[in-house]
Chains A and B, each alone.
Chain A
Amino acid sequence: MSLLEVDDLTIRRSDGRALVDGVGFTVEAGEVVGVVGESGSGKTLTGLSIIGLVPEGLSVSGRISLAGRDLLTQSQREWQQTRGARVAMVLQDPASSLHPMLRLGEQLTDHLRTHLGLSAKAARARAVDLLDRVHLPDPERILRRFPHELSGGMKQRVAIAIALGCEPSLLIADEPTTALDANIRIEIVKLLDELRTSTGMGIVFVTHDLAVLSSIADRVNVFRHGEIVEAASAAEIFARPTHPYTIELLDAVPRVPWQIGHVAATPEGGAA
């Protein structure tokens, strides 16, 4: 039995049009499964359905089971226990996923106390531990800070720390690197890679950027117009894609034909 099984997931608009149509895939513990596609492909909705945050007015059918338990038939109360605790989510824009007016410590401990019933002191200790695990320096100071005082990359690490808080078995990462500068992306990807190895959690990595997936995904599902057009191991997808659309997406990755050089040991007065 896989950690996550999505089977024949269909999400329809009120006029009957299917935004996600018969989608199915699995995620094993410790595995990173990429969900890749352009805007409008249904990839974000799929991620939202796994955590029960599909917008109102859309109807969801099919089966989503997490460790054997069917999520789609859960009550709202059961969802409250699942969401954030068994399944967590990291969103694209760390600036808007963190409350701008609350200190980070409060945002972290709030979450922990609600779900795990910890005392203030225990929650704070755990918060420090979490920030440590996402490699943020000087966690005690960070707890006192407000989101706007941190860089984009640091904010995203905090968001990941919050997501890790209750040791979820599954993490949905919806475009976690898209809003970050290109040079920070690889760090966040490496962090996620490290975390799935150390915690054994599965990750559904939703993105439009195949290049980012190439550094972390074990398997990839290619979405187009609400359907999966190709699903294979990462190695297969990147080396021997079969579907024309996958080839098109791969084609869109900028390729630099040059051999990347290494910086000379003593820069020759490089600063302008």
Chain B
Amino acid sequence: MSTPLLRVQDAVVRYHQKGQPPVTAVRGVSLDVHPGEIVGIVGESGCGKSSLARAMVGLNPVASGTIEFLGKPVSKLPIRRRTASMIPLQMVFQDPYSSLNPRRRIEDQIAEVVRGSRKAQRQPVPSATDLRAIVVDALVRVGLDPDLGARFPHALSGGQRQRVAIAKVLAVESRVIIADEPISALDASSQKRVAALLRDLVVETGIGMAIISHDLAVVASIADTTAVMRAGQFVEQGPTEQVWTAPTHPYTGQLLSAVPDLVRRAS
């Protein structure tokens, strides 16, 4: 077993709101993300999975426990430039409508993150021509027509926008991608295509991925290991097939029984 790219150990995440007692969203959770592997985290709304996802990428601090990326503790996103060593740890967000700047062309937004990541890592910024080539390459890799680069986000469908979001994280040469409900906001047909895209990318490039979702079936189709989350903890964790065929926790059983008939019929 290769060394994990991302290692979470007994992570606890708390929220503090003024005048309210702190809320513990994540109560001690551990997982590893290995290269070329997809880890699925499944749970209902409010189970803490999004808090965990954000902590994994550095948007939330951990109250206790550790989250390490390539051996270094994941630091919270500062107001200044993000630390260079954290740049290959990236996130794809849920809402395709708010994850892109509505006022800028697609190609400019992809170019922006490439420039930003190079500067943050003190690497030379590519020339305009090279930048254009990188943008085109990124769009092609996610299955989009490069001509779409000249358009604005509102001209693209939800599925296309999500692909652009994925193109952005690819363009900065991510090693680990945390995908927080990346397909929930899409049509069923787009869901499968984007999920397949994620799977293909992981297999081809050796990126590690953690995918968070409320939909067990969708996660099952691409995740190698699955963790079932409830009230801030993992109640079940293991190879996806095992979680489906031999669940141990009643809650997992509940989730499984809610899977529609059509999904259960083996192809």
Contacts and interface: CB of A to CB of B under 8 A. Distances in A.
Interface of A: 38-40, 151-152, 181-187, 208-212, 214-215, 238, 248-249, 251-264, 267-268, 270-272
6 contacts: A182-B218, A186-B260, A254-B192, A254-B195, A254-B263, A261-B246
B260 A270 contact: no
B233 interface: yes
A127 B15 CA distance: 38
B157 interface: yes
Interface of B: 28-30, 44-46, 157-158, 187-193, 195, 213-218, 220-221, 227, 233-237, 241, 244-250, 252-267
A232 B155 CA distance: 34
B245 A259 contact: yes
Most interface-central of B28, B30, B266 (chain A CB within 10 A) = B266
Nearest to A39: B187
Nearest to A207: B188
Nearest to A40: B157
A272 B244 contact: no
Nearest to B234: A272
Contacts of A256: 217, 220-221, 244, 259, 263-264, 266
Given A183-B214, A254-B218, A271-B235, A263 B248 contact: yes
B78 to A, nearest CB: 31
Given A183-B214, A260-B264, A252 B192 contact: yes
Which are the 5 A-B pairs with shortest beta-carbon distances? A270-B249, A272-B234, A263-B253, A214-B262, A182-B215
B260 A248 contact: no
Given A181-B45, A272-B30, 4 more contacts: A185-B260, A208-B189, A255-B221, A261-B256
Contacts of A261: 244-247, 256
Contacts, number: 141
A185 B193 CA distance: 22
B197 to A, nearest CB: 13
Nearest to A216: B260
Contact of A262 (B46, B237, B253): B253
Contacts of B264: 256, 260
B237 A272 contact: yes
Contact of B191 (A152, A186, A187, A252): A252
B215 A260 contact: no
Contacts of A257: 266-267
A260 B256 contact: yes
Contact of B217 (A151, A184, A254): A254
A255 B29 CA distance: 29
Most interface-central of A181, A184, A208, A210 (chain B CB within 10 A) = A181
Contacts of A211: 188, 217, 260, 262-263
B33 to A, nearest CB: 16
Nearest to A183: B258
A121 B51 CA distance: 45
Contact of A270 (B44, B189, B248): B248
A182 B257 CA distance: 11
B188 A253 contact: yes
Contacts of B220: 254, 256
Contacts of B46: 151
Contacts of B260: 185-186, 211-212, 214-215
A272 B47 CA distance: 14
